[in-house]
Copies of this chain bind each other. A is one copy, B any other.
Amino acid sequence: MLSERRLEVLRAIVQDYVGTEEPVGSKVLTERHNLKVSPATVRNDMAALEDEGYIAQPHTSAGRIPTDKGYRLFVDKLAGVKPLSSPERRAIQNFLDGAVDLDDVVGRTVRLLAQLTRQVAVVQYPSLTRSTVRHVELLGLAPARLMLVLITDTGRVEQRLIDCPAPIGETVLADLRARLNSRVVGQRFTEVPSLVQDLPEAFDADDRATISTVLATLLETLVEETEERLMIGGTANLTRFGHDFPLTIRPVLEALEEQVVLLKLLGEAKDSGMTVRIGHENQHEGLSSTSVVSVGYGSGDEAVAKLGVVGPTRMDYPGTMGAVRAVARYVGQILAES
């Protein structure tokens, strides 16, 4: 087991390296952090830490830098979550309060998060899975052509065009609309299928085919749209990544363009609490020198989606985690109000 002091040395190394971006040696370490031991002692500790795989040297006679494993230990045991200052919190609130609709909320959140952390921000649109139905609308566009509009409690609107097998009358449509809404409004998406199952039976045989089509489309929408959309921002911050640009930044940009990758990334994170994935812990190869800090957010106690940031493994974890958590909370509040 690592002694208390060695952990302290590791913490000091991580903090220094994150600050300076340069390998850190035993001398500066004793100077900057009052470790109360000599450089020689620290060197011994560093040798031990290196044996255990927590730090590494880029080349002989250079200082040490933390490994993924070192960051992991730092995040798990050595670092807390740094709360934001109250001006920062006020700024968040003010900035988010100005949002006019869901798109705007997500857009603002992305920008905010990118700005606060100076990293790439990723925000998932609230998922439909855990949402409830606020309203279902059916519009007759033509005799045998309908539009289905689904409105969720998170303010999301989905629409689908439906080609009916047979024309449907206005009164039947109104009837269907009314029955549909009385059954599903306020209900969870997952409940909807069983709630509408027997609806066609209430109608004339002539209309049943059409009504089944409508219901099928509705259910499809619920399922399909569970594949999330997301928004990213702050990619310009990637330029602060390192000195060896093209090689580092390219795969990251590519990964960010693949929504599938990002969704998988967020999906792998825990549903509650904050998740930090460091370097190679991310499956995706292009992201092997980045860390992802993510957290769920939601209007109630349950998370309806996730948000987070992607940055270099060498990042300010406490600060980033603080910002991510704070933003998630405020977004949750905003969603709950609307």
Contact = CB atoms under 8 A, between A and B. Distances in A.
Interface in A232-252: 233-236, 238-239, 245-246, 249-250
A151 B139 contact: yes
A253 to B, nearest CB: 4
Nearest to A253: B236
A257 B234 CA distance: 7
Contacts of A149: 137, 149, 157
Given A135-B141, A139-B135, A239 B257 contact: no
B253 A238 contact: yes
Contacts of A250: 236, 239
Contact of A151 (B147, B234, B235, B238): B147
Contacts of A246: 239, 245
Which bracket fits the contact residues of A?
20 to 34
Interface in A130-164: 134-135, 137, 139, 141, 147, 149, 151, 157, 159-160
Interface string A240-272: 000001100110011011000000000000000
Nearest to A229: B103
Contacts of A141: 134-135
A134 B145 CA distance: 12
A249 B236 CA distance: 8
B137 A139 contact: yes
B135 A147 contact: yes
Contact of A159 (B151, B238, B239): B151
Nearest to A338: B161
A262 to B, nearest CB: 14
A225 to B, nearest CB: 11
Contacts of A151: 139, 147, 159
B245 A257 contact: no
11 contacts: A134-B141, A135-B139, A137-B139, A137-B149, A149-B149, A149-B157, A235-B235, A236-B257, A239-B246, A239-B253, A245-B249
Interface of A: 101, 134-135, 137, 139, 141, 147, 149, 151, 157, 159-160, 233-236, 238-239, 245-246, 249-250, 253-254, 256-257
Given A157-B157, A238-B253, 20 more contacts: A101-B160, A134-B141, A135-B139, A135-B141, A137-B149, A139-B151, A149-B157, A151-B159, A157-B159, A235-B235, A235-B253, A235-B256, A235-B257, A236-B253, A236-B254, A236-B257, A239-B245, A239-B246, A239-B249, A245-B246
